[in-house]
């Protein structure tokens, strides 16, 4: 099923934000080259990562992201942002800035976790029916755009069209509710450095989300099935 999206609304949110954030430090992820890495090399480098994210990328701690089966491009560029100091309060920033982690290490780690099976969905999607509606249709009256325009109808990060435009957008289905709610709140409140074009877009998208809408979206995404 093709997503029924209001593209004018999405552009109305995104374009003014990007126009105002041009900077030599900003990572423009709207048309990036595909990332490649060595899965086997990455498997030899995961000891530190597995403490929070699990050996196969299924985090045992709801506050930390499930990264197994996540898109390699998203994983790599998130690591690049942390390495550049995107979120000083995150342990990820301290780890990547204090250790001798090369760009190839980032690519290999991303390749390894992208090759793992995604975490299974959990919870009852019917309990968050409003979250499903917000994800797929948005709420134009409140200025909320549908998430599926960038993250795919099935919340798997796969969107029809120019693939290069969507490489760095993550899959969301099966992600921890607590982690998603925190990230959406951070984007809404602009409590971390907006270092990439994706960050700026997400600030604009999340700007009109209240706490209840965030809870509904995050709950449905954790429970959503294909």
Q: Do 162 and 87 fall into the same domain?
A: no
Q: Over the stretch 184-225, which tens digit does the pLDDT of each residue have?
A: 999 999 988 899 999 999 999 999 999 999 999 999 999 998
Q: What Rg value do the Cα atoms of the chain yield, rounded?
A: 17
pTM: 0.89
Residue 8: is its pLDDT beyond 50?
A: no
Among 13-22, 129-138, 190-199, which range has the highest average pLDDT?
Answer: 129-138
Spatial separation of the C-alpha atoms in residues 77 and 96, rounded to whole Å: 13
- Reported as a pLDDT band with limits 50, 70 and 90, residue 39 is very high
Distance in angstroms (rounded) separating the CA atoms of residues 9 and 180: 23
Are 130 and 65 in the same domain? no
94 and 181 fall within a common domain:
no
Burial annotation 37-72 (CB, 10 A radius, 16+ → b, else e): bebeebbebbeebeebbbebbbbeebebbbbbbbbb
Give residue 93's domain range: 39-114
pLDDT given for residue 225 in this prediction: 84
Shared-domain flag, residues 132 and 102: no
Chosen domain end from 114, 147, 166 = 114
């Amino acid at each position: 099923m093709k997503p029924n999206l209001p593209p004018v609304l999405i552009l109305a949110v995104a374009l003014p934000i990007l126009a105002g954030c041009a900077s030599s430090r900003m990572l423009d992820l709207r048309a990036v080259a595909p990332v490649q890495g060595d899965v086997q090399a990455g498997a030899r480098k995961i000891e530190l990562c597995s403490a929070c994210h699990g050996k196969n990328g299924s985090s045992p701690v709801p506050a930390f992201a499930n990264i197994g089966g996540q898109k390699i491009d998203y994983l790599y560029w998130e690591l690049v942002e942390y390495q550049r100091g995107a979120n000083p309060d995150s342990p990820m920033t301290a780890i990547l800035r204090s250790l001798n982690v090369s760009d190839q290490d980032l690519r290999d780690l991303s390749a390894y976790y992208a090759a793992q099976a995604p975490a299974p969905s959990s919870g009852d999607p019917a309990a968050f029916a409003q979250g499903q509606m917000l994800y797929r249709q948005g709420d134009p009256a409140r200025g909320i755009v549908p998430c599926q325009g960038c993250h795919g109808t099935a919340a798997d990060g796969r969107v029809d069209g120019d693939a290069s435009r969507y490489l760095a957008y993550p899959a969301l289905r099966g992600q921890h509710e607590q982690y998603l709610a925190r990230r959406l709140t951070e984007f809404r409140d602009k409590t971390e450095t907006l270092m990439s074009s994706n960050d700026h877009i997400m600030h604009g998208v999340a700007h009109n989300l209240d706490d209840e809408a965030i809870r509904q979206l995050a709950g449905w995404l954790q429970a959503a099935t294909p």
